[in-house]
Amino acid sequence: MFLNAQTTFVLDHVASSTPTNATLYLTGSFNEWEPGNSRYKFEKNSDGKYYTKPLVFEDATIMFLVTRGSWETAEVESDGLPVLTRKISFSQPIDTLHLKITGWADKEGRAISAKKITVKVTEIPKSTPPDAPIYIAGNFNGWVPGDKRYKLIKVEDGSYEIDVPVYWPRLTYKFTRGNWYTVEGKTYGRPRNDRFQLITNETFDKPLEEKIMYWEDQSSGLFNPYTLILILAGIQGIFLIFIINSYENNNRKANRVLSGLIFLIAIILLTRVSLYDRDIYNSYPRLSLFQDLVYFLYAPIFFIYIKKLLKIPSKPRELSQWWYFVPFVIQVIVYLLFFIEPLHLFIDRAVSRFYPSEIYITIGGIALLFNIWFWFKIKNVIKNYLKNIEDTYSYDQDVNYLHTIMLLKGGCLVLWTVIFIVGGYSYIMTNSLSTLTLFLVDSIWILFSLTVFLLGYYAIKQPAIFKIHEVKVEAAKTTSNDNEFLQLKEKLIHIMEVDKAFLDPALSLPDLAQKLQTNVHLLSRTINDGFDKNFRDFVNQYRVNTFIEKVNKEGYKNHTFLGIALDVGFNSKSSFNRSFKKITGKTPREYFNA
């Protein structure tokens, strides 16, 4: 909470080089960085200390420096290097703020003697206000956004130039129109990373040419093609939760997990979108951390959903599903450290030069490996399910949509991996590829949001995928003898050939066992050993034979293959074609044209 209290600034120590009759001023974001504003002048008391009158600031966080009336006389470090812009947050009332001045730019400063590099801006946004001043701020001036020493000058060819001093092997900088609200940005007003240039002897031989593509304050804000996709996905996700849970006879356990997963996706997407609004981000910058929570939450929740949906039992020595969330808990603990630090420090770490890249890169790298591991784990579960399902069902379960979702997730993981490769290349080769990285990140979020659209499509077009019911498989009650085995085989042939149980498109092994008044285990063994087939092939053999008989009958000459296939118990064209070729070795058309 921002407390609008009065604060007095006191200089407990000033550099020994300070002229006796010097007038000192406070300058910063609160006065457009005017270095000699009398309203923020220091007074000198009897004991030689400088102090301001009590000041009230409109902003919750301010940036400031001390000058002697101009930028040429701004404070510097004792070794003459620029002082990094001071910052303070008023989340708690500050009655008095004590400062020390260790040097002055015109006394201890190195700007005059330092080697200089010419920075040339060859292009600015067409929306730039006429005659708007353009400044460069960076590590060479303590990141002061409106330092008049570094106001770019328009030259004859229409470009803008300025000479900046170089103190370190790496020059970092950004362009502004006088303050951080008018700093250059990326598309749709997003903050861009600091520009940088590694300094070598050749660097000084020619101007450093740059182009300014966008200003943060001239953005479309919350609504643009990219964010609209995320907004629609988030809103659809909320509605989808109600749709899924409204179905009767649904798989409630699986759909509760799915609802939680969709809710997570929706909240994450809407949170990411909200950060495109400058006012929201400036007021609640820590929201940027919430989108990272998907790193260690999505994969384990989706894995649990798959197991609930497909009724996959846990293995005897398999870890409890709660262990999968340990990385998420660790991530939350790490992020809590960012929540308790002062707001201005968090903003610096998030979007400015103190960004703790090592922490985020480490978390991101571990999260990538974590999600890749789960992707293969989930893929293996689905593969085994589809492999074993032929022993239980005579028809195809509607789980093909899982392949599409896995394809989307695989695409996200590939792009995520490419981001790390591009980032590593950029770091090693000292070549900024931030535009490509941004494109890849946006692409991941678009693919991620498509999950909701995909589930919404299937919820409307194929609602049965959310109704996969549990098949209770009975354990064997007794050990069968040869006589019992032969009797069951005869009964099985009778129920298929006479009663034509195969005509039921939803026939399952438990259904057939119930009709034969036996248990699933014994029936399965009878089919496997007595006919050398799995349950699905056994049933579909009868369906294919009956299909061939009907096609050859006069009364079915005007019927389509699909119509007859549905008549004999197949539930889809793809299932029929696949089974027909597996059993006969030919497609239906090849078979009847032979």
Say which residue the tokens 């028809």 belong to: 395
Mean pLDDT of 488-496: 91
**Alpha-carbon torsion, ordered 438, 442, 445, 451, to 10 deg:** -150
Mean pLDDT of 251-273: 88
pLDDT bin (cut points 50, 70, 90) of residue 354 is very low
**441 plus 526 within the same structural domain:** no
Q: What is the 3-state secondary structure (H, E, C) of 539-592?
A: HHHHHHHHHHHHHCCHHHCCCCHHHHHHHCCCCCHHHHHHHHHHHHCCCHHHHH
Give domain status of residue 3, yes or no.
no
The answer to whether 256 touches 466, Cβ cutoff 8 Å, is no
**175 plus 294 within the same structural domain:** no
Q: Which residues pair with 28 in a beta bridge?
A: 64
Identity of the residue numbered 546: T
**134 plus 268 within the same structural domain:** no
Mean pLDDT of 406-433: 82
Q: Using the predicted structure, report yes or no on whether residue 376 has a pLDDT greater than 60.
A: yes
Give domain status of residue 108, yes or no.
no
Lowest-confidence region among 217-221, 452-456, 476-480: 476-480
Q: Are strands 25-28 and 116-123 parallel, antiparallel or unpaired?
A: unpaired
pLDDT bin (cut points 50, 70, 90) of residue 424 is confident
pLDDT at res. 67: 97
pLDDT bin (cut points 50, 70, 90) of residue 476 is very low
Q: What count of other Cβ atoms lies within 10 Å of the Cβ of residue 526?
A: 22
Cα atoms in the Cβ-side hemisphere of radius 13 Å centred on 512: 34
Share of the chain above pLDDT 70, in %: 86
The answer to whether 378 touches 491, Cβ cutoff 8 Å, is no
**14 plus 133 within the same structural domain:** no
Identify each DSSP E strand in 130-183 by its residue range.
135-138, 153-154, 160-165, 170-176
Q: Using the predicted structure, report yes or no on whether residue 470 has a pLDDT greater than 80.
A: no
Q: What count of other Cβ atoms lies within 10 Å of the Cβ of residue 279?
A: 9
Q: Using the predicted structure, report yes or no on whether residue 529 has a pLDDT greater than 60.
A: yes
Could you say which of 42, 66, 100 is where a domain stops? 100
**In this structure, what CATH number is given to the domain that contains residue 204?**
2.60.40.10
Q: What count of other Cβ atoms lies within 10 Å of the Cβ of residue 382?
A: 18
Q: Using the predicted structure, report yes or no on whether residue 466 has a pLDDT greater than 60.
A: no
pLDDT digits (tens, 9 = 90+) for 535-558: 888 999 999 999 999 998 888 888
**257 plus 185 within the same structural domain:** no
**In this structure, what CATH number is given to the domain that contains residue 345?**
1.20.1070
Q: Using the predicted structure, report yes or no on whether residue 471 has a pLDDT greater than 50.
A: no
SS3 137: strand
**457 plus 488 within the same structural domain:** no
The answer to whether 483 touches 437, Cβ cutoff 8 Å, is no
Mean pLDDT of 445-458: 84
**Residue 492 structure tokens:** 């099985």
Say which residue the tokens 């974590």 belong to: 370
**Alpha-carbon torsion, ordered 353, 357, 358, 360, to 10 deg:** 150
Domain count for the chain, please give it. 4
* 407: Cβ contacts below 8 Å, ≥ 6 apart: none
Q: What is the DSSP string of 190-223?
A: PBPPPEEEE--GGGGGS-EEEE--EETTSS-TT-
**350 plus 307 within the same structural domain:** yes
E strand or H helix at 120, and its extent? Answer: strand 116-123
pLDDT at res. 1: 46
pLDDT digits (tens, 9 = 90+) for 68-90: 999 999 999 999 999 989 988 88
pLDDT at res. 335: 87
pLDDT bin (cut points 50, 70, 90) of residue 382 is confident
**276 plus 374 within the same structural domain:** yes
Share of the chain above pLDDT 90, in %: 43
pLDDT bin (cut points 50, 70, 90) of residue 251 is low
CA–CA dist 299, 373 (Å, integer): 9
Q: What is the DSSP string of 340-373?
A: HS-HHHHHHHHHSTT--HHHHHHHHHHHHHHHHH
Give domain status of residue 52, yes or no.
yes
**329 plus 303 within the same structural domain:** yes
Mean pLDDT of 498-521: 87
**Alpha-carbon torsion, ordered 248, 254, 255, 257, to 10 deg:** 160
The answer to whether 420 touches 365, Cβ cutoff 8 Å, is yes
Provide the domain limits for residue 427.
225-466
Q: Are strands 116-123 and 208-211 parallel, antiparallel or unpaired?
A: parallel
pLDDT bin (cut points 50, 70, 90) of residue 43 is very high
pLDDT at res. 133: 96
Please give the backbone phi and psi of residue 413, each rounded to the nearest 5 degrees, phi first. -65, -35
Nearest-CA neighbor of 69 among 109, 112, 100, 40?
A: 40
Q: Using the predicted structure, report yes or no on whether residue 504 has a pLDDT greater than 70.
A: yes
The answer to whether 432 touches 426, Cβ cutoff 8 Å, is yes
Higher model confidence: residue 441 or residue 55?
55
Q: Using the predicted structure, report yes or no on whether residue 154 has a pLDDT greater than 70.
A: yes
Could you say which of 100, 129, 161 is where a domain stops? 100
CA–CA dist 540, 347 (Å, integer): 64
Q: What count of other Cβ atoms lies within 10 Å of the Cβ of residue 242?
A: 9
Identity of the residue numbered 20: T
Higher model confidence: residue 358 or residue 521?
521
Q: Using the predicted structure, report yes or no on whether residue 259 has a pLDDT greater than 60.
A: yes
Q: Using the predicted structure, report yes or no on whether residue 93 has a pLDDT greater than 60.
A: yes
SS3 396: coil
**74 plus 141 within the same structural domain:** no
Nearest-CA neighbor of 447 among 293, 265, 324?
A: 265
**In this structure, what CATH number is given to the domain that contains residue 45?**
2.60.40
Q: Using the predicted structure, report yes or no on whether residue 353 has a pLDDT greater than 60.
A: no
Mean pLDDT of 293-308: 92
CA–CA dist 448, 204 (Å, integer): 45
Q: What count of other Cβ atoms lies within 10 Å of the Cβ of residue 33?
A: 24
Could you say which of 176, 196, 215 is where a domain stops? 215
pLDDT at res. 3: 53
Mean pLDDT of 450-472: 65
Cα atoms in the Cβ-side hemisphere of radius 13 Å centred on 228: 5
The answer to whether 496 touches 542, Cβ cutoff 8 Å, is yes
E strand or H helix at 27, and its extent? Answer: strand 25-28
Say which residue the tokens 């798989």 belong to: 251
SS3 481: coil
Give domain status of residue 500, yes or no.
yes
CA–CA dist 519, 169 (Å, integer): 78
pLDDT at res. 434: 66
**210 plus 231 within the same structural domain:** no
Q: What is the 3-state secondary structure (H, E, C) of 272-310?
A: HHHCCCHHHHHHCHHHHHHHHHHHHHHHHHHHHHHHHHH
Give domain status of residue 1, yes or no.
no
**In this structure, what CATH number is given to the domain that contains residue 487?**
1.10.10.60
- Cα 525 from chain centroid? 48
CA–CA dist 209, 123 (Å, integer): 9
Q: What count of other Cβ atoms lies within 10 Å of the Cβ of residue 3?
A: 10
Nearest-CA neighbor of 94 among 64, 47, 65, 60?
A: 60
**46 plus 152 within the same structural domain:** no
pLDDT at res. 475: 45
